[in-house]
């Protein structure tokens, strides 16, 4: 899917990701707006302190789902391009877990499509988050915490 020298639009990777790089990749002479989003690992969740997260993905299916979500956004809003990268593996506080960039002629479409893409990823992409803190490790299953094994 990826072409040499060109950032793939959709990727699930264990390497660091950046919305800045995605923003450059979706730039276009027709686009007057580029909206970006980064999901960043935070040091607390639900009143508990968090030391690090581990993301696990069904990578080939997750990439298909990210592509479907990007296509849905492109059908629904007049946008030039959308790029979505999701990280897997162990991430420390402040590291970027998901990066999205959307370009469009005008800002309204870029903001709306961006919001749709991140919200839908969280509903549909087969990617799981394991949180580790002072009380041990937990799988985050929607609103539920479930103690994880080692």
Partner 1 sequence: MREVLRIRVRLFARPREICGTDTLDLELPVTATASDCFTALASRHPELKSLREALMVAVNEEYAQWNTQLADGDVVALIPPVSGGCGRAGTWPR
Rounded to a whole number of angstroms, the CA Rg of the chain reads 16
Judged by CB under 8 A, the stretch of 1-9, 18-26, 49-57, 104-112 that binds partner 1 is 49-57
Cα(149)–Cα(130) distance, rounded to whole angstroms?
10
Site map (CB under 8 A) of partner 1, residues 97-116, x = contact: xx------------------
Q: How near is the Cβ of 149 to partner 1 at its closest, in Å?
A: 4
- Among residues 42, 48, 78, 107, which is the contact residue for partner 1, using CB under 8 A? 42
Who's near 75: CB < 8 A, 6+ residues apart? Answer: none
35's enclosing H/E stretch is strand 33-40
Binder of partner 1 out of 10, 39, 73, 79 (CB under 8 A): 39
| Number of alpha helices (DSSP H) and beta strands (DSSP E) in the chain | 3, 11
25 versus 68: smaller Cβ distance to partner 1:
68
């Amino acid at each position: 899917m990826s072409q040499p020298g060109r950032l793939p639009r959709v990727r699930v990777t264990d390497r660091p990701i950046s919305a800045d790089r995605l923003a450059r990749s979706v730039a276009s002479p027709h686009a007057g707006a580029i909206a970006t989003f980064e999901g960043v690992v935070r040091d607390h969740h639900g009143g508990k302190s968090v030391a690090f997260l581990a993301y696990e993905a069904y990578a080939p299916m997750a990439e298909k789902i990210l592509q479907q979500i990007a296509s849905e956004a492109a059908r629904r809003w007049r946008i030039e391009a959308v790029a979505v990268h999701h990280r897997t593996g162990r991430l420390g506080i402040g590291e970027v877990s998901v990066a999205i960039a959307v370009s469009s002629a005008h800002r309204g479409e870029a903001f709306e499509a961006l919001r749709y893409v991140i919200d839908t990823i969280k509903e549909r992409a087969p990617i799981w988050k394991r949180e580790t803190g002072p009380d041990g490790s937990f799988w985050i299953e929607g609103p539920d915490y479930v103690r994880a094994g080692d």
